[in-house]
Amino acid sequence: MAIAKICGTETEYGLRMLPPGDHNPVSISSLLVSSYVDEVQRQIDWDFEDESPGNDARGFSLESAMAPAVEAHLLNAVLANGSRYYVDHAHPELSTPECTDALELVRYDKAGEAILRRSMDAARRVLHEGASIVVYKNNSDGKGNSYGCHENYLMARSVPFAQIVHHVVPHFVSRQIFTGAGKIGSEARWWDRAEQAPHFQISQRADFFEEIVGLETTLKRPIVNTRDEPHADPQRYRRLHVIVGDANLSEVSTYLKVASTAIVLAMIEDGFFGEMDLTVENPVQAMHDVSADLELAKSFRLVSGRTVTALGIQWELLQLAKKYAAERGLDCVGGEERGSDALARWERTLELLEQDPSSLSRQLDWVAKLELLEAYRDRTGASWQDRRLAMLDLQYHDLRPERSLFARLDMERLTSDEDVDRAVREPPRGTRAWFRGTCLSRWPTQIVSANWDSLVFDVGSDPLRRVPMMDPLKGTADQVGALVAQAATPAELLRLLSE
Amino acid sequence: MMPERELKKRSSASRQDEGDVAASAGAPPEAATAARQGERIKADLDDLLDEIDEVLEDNAEEFIRGYVQKGGE
């Protein structure tokens, strides 16, 4: 049985300082993060001891990969809900805590947006009168610069990496039809003539993918990223770092993106694909074609000689997943109830995409945005090149409540405001994030540093005490809740933990 | 800001009215539900477009030109 598909997202947000001027994006990002941290929470220094983003899953280390020390000086905080909030390159980035299933991750992904929204308010109080920082949850500036929304999934180390690549690429090429956040135009170089480029495409990110497998995340981006940095016991675990996805505002899009991928990965881990081979002949080309095909009709060739559409691949994956659920159960994706709900939602979405994609305009980001743009064009006669259309596109992703177009579209919710508010304050209960977040809440001044896989306590006497958390499944509320409640001080906690 | 908020309230009120009409008509067949939902979504979009000029940034040309990000990741 596959191990629990513990999952999380890391989102880099777009930024704009108003009024416009010659602003340094790193400074703006830092100001945004620090305003929030200062106002809401004491900053905890991040512990870089176990970070090695240059390690390659294929078994070698890239010398030129950025050393963690380079970014160590930048602002970095761990929050009481177990997430990490920091400045990465020139963007504020929020990594959710480790979650046990897709629905829980939707809540924490939305909590991330809420934290960025509160950061905008906090920054406004720090900035001089009339100045503000605006945050966008999107993936591109429309000028060829992209920033990511990455997903992470826990996998057993025993699964050969080549097996993962083999079976997950067809999913990544085709899942865009429900994960896409939509965008006007194209930023790719491969359209021979400008008029060949799509006026609107399904994915924000597809334009930026040029390889099938690789370690890069900032240029020549690969469909499968090989970063091998498990933040856990490397003998047992792998963290699959997924960089192909769009940043979704729609809860349904995020839910389907994570749930479908978790199930596909569980099936890979359990060898459930058997003889089934969906290997795409030219995955990079197919990725671009799927994104540009708003009718979802275009087919591409598989290595087996068959031709399929993106929808066709998704149907085959779903059928396999239903068989998997019946034979192996869904414990690894949050249990039967959660898993079955995800499968039903996946199936209904494929049915509706097949019948009429526009019927999903309250569920999927790209459909909602396309419908809004078309309605605006009908009313005003604006061409696809009209800047007002580009403004609508950008403002779909604007996190300010008074400017967000997404917020005005009455999209289907899977969470409540109370769920999201709780997720801003409290960690998930079913992973080590519970221990991290709870300790940070209880003893903020006695934790000198925190990382995904460790906490360092200052118990008042030398030396500092480091608590390793090498298993993402340990440190849950059920496992250590009583013990943490019983401890009056970190020193007592450490004593109880070692008994 | 004030007029925007009022407009938004009005549009959600009109949604509510339509929901009541659907409820009082009993349980319609699925196709009719879908069609009605489609109409409601269209009406919502119309409401949004009625107020769109107040929501959009003033100088789209300049704003879009100025939205330049460094690559990330």
Q: Does A217 touch chain B (CB under 8 A)?
A: yes
Q: Would B31 be classed as within a structural domain?
A: yes
Phi, psi of A398 (to 5 degrees): -65, 130
Q: Give alpha helix (H) positions in A329-357.
A: 336-355
Interface of A with B in 22-81 (CB under 8 A): 25
Please state, in angstroms and rounded to a whole number, the distance separating the CA atoms of residues A75 and A280.
42
Confidence at residue A51, expressed as pLDDT on a 0 to 100 scale? 63
Computed over every residue of chain A, the mean pLDDT equals: 92
Tell me what pLDDT residue A486 has: 97
For residue A15, the chain B residues in CB contact (below 8 A) are 69
Cβ–Cβ gap A89/B73 under 8 Å: yes
* Domain limits, CATH 3.30.590, in chain A: 7-420
Tell me whether residue B15 is in a domain. Answer: no
Report the DSSP beta bridge partners of residue A398.
Answer: A136
Integer angstrom CA distances of residue A227 from A95, A152, A231, A244: 16, 11, 11, 13
Q: Compute the distance between CA of residue A191 and CA of residue A236 in angstroms, rounded to an integer.
A: 44
φ, ψ (nearest 5 deg) of residue A225: -90, 135
Angle at A330 between CA A356 and CA A150, to 5 degrees: 65
Q: What is the pLDDT of residue A142?
A: 94
Query: If residue A149 lies in a helix (H) or strand (E), which one and from where to where?
Result: strand A149-156
- Axis crossing angle, helix A161-174 with helix A310-328, rounded to the nearest 10: 130
**pLDDT by residue (tens digit) across A141-190?**
999 999 999 999 999 999 999 999 999 999 999 999 999 999 999 998 76
- What strands lie across the sheet with A149-156, from one edge to the other? A76-78, A84-88, A91-95, A7-12, A149-156, A237-242
Give a yes or no: residue B56 inside a domain: yes
Closest alpha carbon to A296 in A224, A368, A223, A367: A367
pLDDT at residue number A192: 61
Scanning the structure block, which residue is given the tokens 């596109």?
A393
How do beta strands A183-184 and A149-156 pair?
unpaired
| Interface ipTM | 0.86
Nearest to A267 by CA among A278, A253, A254: A278
d(CA A451, CA A466): 11
CA distance A378 to chain B (A): 11
Pick the residue from chain B with its C-alpha nearest to A216: B73
| A150/A331 Cα distance (integer angstroms) | 24
**Count, residues in chain A:** 499
Contact call for A91 and B72, based on CB within 8 A? yes
Total domains in chain B come to 1
Under-70 pLDDT residues of chain B? 1-31
> Which residue in A has a C-alpha nearest to residue B15's C-alpha?
A410
Contact B61 A146 (CB under 8 A): no
- Determine the number of helices (DSSP H) and then strands (DSSP E) in chain B: 4, 0
The pLDDT assigned to A61 comes to: 43
Q: Is A276 on the interface with B (CB under 8 A)?
A: no
d(CA A178, CA A306): 23
Distance from CA of A132 to the nearest CA of B (A): 14
User: Active-site residue numbers of A?
Assistant: 88
Is B3 among the domain residues? yes
* Assigned token pair, B44: 């919502």
Q: Which residues, numbered 97 to 156 in chain A, qualify as contacts with chain B under a Cβ-Cβ cut-off of 8 Å?
A: 140-143, 145-148, 150
Q: List the single residue in B with minimal CA-CA distance to A401.
A: B55
What domain range includes position B4?
1-10+26-73
- Cβ neighbours of residue A273 under 8 Å, at least 6 residues apart? A167, A267, A320
For chain A positions 330-389, those within 8 Å of chain B (CB to CB) are 359, 361-362, 371-372, 375-376, 379, 387-388
Parts of chain A with a pLDDT under 50: 42-43, 59-73
For A47-62, what is each residue's pLDDT tens digit?
Answer: 656 666 656 665 444 3
Which CATH number does A7-420 carry? 3.30.590
Q: What is the predicted pLDDT for the residue at B8?
A: 39
DSSP annotation of A54: T
Q: Among all residues of chain B, which has the CA nearest to that of A17?
A: B67
pLDDT, one tens digit per residue, over A271-295 is 999 999 999 999 999 999 999 999 9
Length of chain B: 73
User: DSSP of A208-234, one letter per residue?
Assistant: GEEEEEES-SSSSEEEEE-B---SS-T
